[in-house]
Amino acid sequence: MQRTRMFQKLSLAMLGFGLAAGAAAADIKLGAAEALTGPAAKYGIAIKNGFTLAADEINAKGGVNGNKLALVAEDEQGKKEEAINVFKKLIFQDKVLLVFGPTLSNSAFAADPIANAAKTVVFGTSNTADGVSAIGPFVFRNSVMEADVLPVTTRAAVKQFGIKKVAIVYGNDDAFTKNGYDVFKSALESQKIAVTNTETYAKGDVDFKAQLTKIKAANPDAIVCSCLAEEAANIIVQTRSLGMKQPFIGGNGFNSPKLFEIAKDAADNTVMGSPWSAENQAPANKSFIAAYKAKFNAEPDQFAAQAYDAMYIVADALKKVKLSGSLDKDRVALRDALPNVKHDGATGKFAFRRAKDKSGKDAGYDAQQDAIVNIAKGGKFVLLK
């Protein structure tokens, strides 16, 4: 009798063990195609860190419905061609459930159609250009579009400094900075702010003095700059070296510790709108910052924060998905679960908003989130009240 019961227990335990082993084998593979080398690596690496941190936290708490999240990160080098290759590898070879990335909007336009055609969710955490989510119904992003952030930023700056006329500087050979310029331009038009002159530069330029000298002659009240952090910092430094004191108005690209590493307090009075701020004291954000610093021994930035939130958003959606084991079905099930996720994370309250394509039909999903307007004081951004 005793023996039979023991045997029963043992077989039950073995059954349980077998089940557990089966579940462990069903790790949920999530792909990340980010620029881990090349000029965009500063964003890509922060993004990968954000994913890793969130996935580790989720796994440490038992994963999603008992399944562990496994991140498959690949380097797309910030190049369109590489992004396409890496997307194909992740989707068809590694058979991931979802692809995060790519890092740049430029690459998203090239690679996202592949994921969309393969009915696999592509989740951008750093693509802010217009039209990315118009690619198709499998395209998601939690990066707030410039079109939502910049008008709020200019309005706040105009109020702060009593601005009547501005000059604009932007990089004209990059989807992100060009798109930022378009948004700024229409925002300035609708807010009836005159533009004295519009100057451009190309990727890799380091000397902006010719353009800035021209702006100096026009003497605007502020300089609107649709640039990435390092160019922005150099533009600010060179503006000051020409004896100009105008405040700067910038977009997402300004939101990096790099800005102050290069420009220091020359950047004071720069007004910048962003979806994330290190100054945001919400508990989710504070714990994110502390965990990031502890794990990577570096200051997190907006890109890490958005990636971190994205992983939690996907985990939330996965909780509602009953994995069938058929990759195609599970990919579509995840796609159907994602739009209902509401999240309150490091970047604040978040929901998805349906995007339209060019013909007005429903396409992918954009972020519905409020922008935070910051102003630079003493070498860092503080909230602009």
Partner 1 sequence: MLEQQLINALSLGSVYALFALGFTLVFGVLGVINLSHGAIFMLGSYVALLLVNHFAMSLWLALLLAMLTTGLVGLLVDFLVLKPLRARNAPHLTPMIATIGVAIILTSVAQGLFGAENKRFPFGTIPEGSFTLGNLHVTAVQLGIVLISFLLMIVLLLVMRRTQLGRALRAIAESPKAASLLGINVEGLFLLTSFAAAALGGAAGVLVGLSFNAISPFMGQPMLHKGIAVIILGGMGDIRGALIGGLFLGFAEVMSVAYLSSDFRDAVAFGLLFLILLVRPSGMFGKILERKA
Instruction: Name the residues that contact partner 1, by CB under 8 A.
Output: 37-42, 45, 172, 199-207, 209-211, 213-214, 216-217, 230, 233-234, 237, 241-243, 258, 261-262, 264
- Residue pair 376/268 in contact by the 8 Å Cβ criterion: yes
* Smallest distance from partner 1 to CB 348, Å: 27
* Smallest distance from partner 1 to CB 248, Å: 16
Q: Which is nearer to partner 1, 120 or 234 (CB)?
A: 234
The answer to whether the bond into 102 is cis (omega within 30° of 0) is yes
* Smallest distance from partner 1 to CB 338, Å: 31
Interatomic CA distance for residues 146 and 170, integer angstroms: 14
The pair of three-digit structure tokens given for residue 234, joined into one six-digit string: 């150099």
Phi, psi of 320 (to 5 degrees): -90, -10
Interatomic CA distance for residues 303 and 256, integer angstroms: 9
Of 279, 290, 283, the C-alpha closest to 257 is 279
DSSP, collapsed to helix, strand or coil, labels residue 210 as helix
For residue 28, the cross-strand partners are: 69
* Smallest distance from partner 1 to CB 241, Å: 5
Q: Which is nearer to partner 1, 40 or 83 (CB)?
A: 40
* Smallest distance from partner 1 to CB 292, Å: 17
- Residue pair 75/6 in contact by the 8 Å Cβ criterion: no
The pair of three-digit structure tokens given for residue 36, joined into one six-digit string: 């881990």
* Smallest distance from partner 1 to CB 314, Å: 27
Q: Which is nearer to partner 1, 43 or 292 (CB)?
A: 43
Task: Name the helix (H) or strand (E) containing 344.
Answer: strand 343-345
Task: Name the helix (H) or strand (E) containing 4.
Answer: helix 2-25
CA angle 233, 273, 377 (to 5 degrees): 55
Q: Which is nearer to partner 1, 144 or 229 (CB)?
A: 229
Q: Which is nearer to partner 1, 41 or 147 (CB)?
A: 41
Q: Which is nearer to partner 1, 37 or 340 (CB)?
A: 37
